[in-house]
Amino acid sequence: MNVRAALTTAGSLVVIGGLVALAAPAVVSVIAAAQSVGGNAALLLDAPQAAAATDPSTMPGLPDGYVDLGEGVAIPEGGPGDCVSTTWINITKEDGGPWNVRLLGADLVDMGPREFAIGEVGYSADGRIAAYTVAAGDSPWAIGDRFCFANGNAIPLMNGHRGYEAIQPGEVLVLDPVAVPGFEYHYPYEE
């Protein structure tokens, strides 16, 4: 091997080693979050458990402190902050069918304005929480906490945002698709 090839190989190894070192903390935090059984971590059940998910009393292996949301999903009891129950945004697609968005778990509850979630709440004709108008400085995580969503970061996706698109002041976000007449979900990555 000549000197030029040796230097190129050594340089490549240094770059690859640096990239691995930079990615390691992120990978470790993702693994730790997936292994977490507290907070807002969801427990995705295997096929036999998912089949029994309609009757939590027969669901084998559901850890203490978890609540069955149905469709093979269980989450920790309680919710973010002071929430006593939790709602989960479920976005699915049947084979060849349209995308479907629905809420699993408890009905939405407004825990009140807080830092990064001070916008106005919109209600349906029957008084259910339906939408939220974004205020300057609001964040999806804080909005999710305000309304006891286990996965509040999915609120922008539910409203057609791609992962890199920020919510904007004045934007009206649907919180409960059933409470908003005519709501149609469009998966933002399928265009």
Task: Express each pLDDT in 123-165 by its tens digit.
Answer: 999 999 999 999 999 999 999 999 999 888 899 999 999 888 9
pLDDT on residue 139: 95
If pLDDT is split at 50, 70 and 90, which confidence band does 187 have? confident
Rounded to an integer, the average pLDDT of 86-98 is 87
Task: Express each pLDDT in 49-62 by its tens digit.
Answer: 444 444 444 456 66
Q: Which of 40-54, 59-73, 86-100, 147-161 has the highest mean pLDDT?
A: 147-161
Q: Does the pTM of the predicted model rise above 0.75?
A: no
Task: Express each pLDDT in 4-29 by its tens digit.
Answer: 766 666 666 655 655 555 554 544 34
Ordered by start, the domain boundaries in the chain are 66-179
DSSP string computed for the chain: --HHHHHHHHHHHHHHHHHHHHHHHHHHHHHHHHH--STT--EE--HHHHHTTT-GGG-TTPPTTEEEEETTEEEESS-STT-SS-EEEEEEE-TTS-EEEEEEESPP-----BTTB--EEEE-TTS-EEEEEPPTT--HHHHHHHTTBTTGGGHHHHTT--TTPPP-TTPEEES-GGGSTT-----TT--
Residue 68: pLDDT above 80?
no
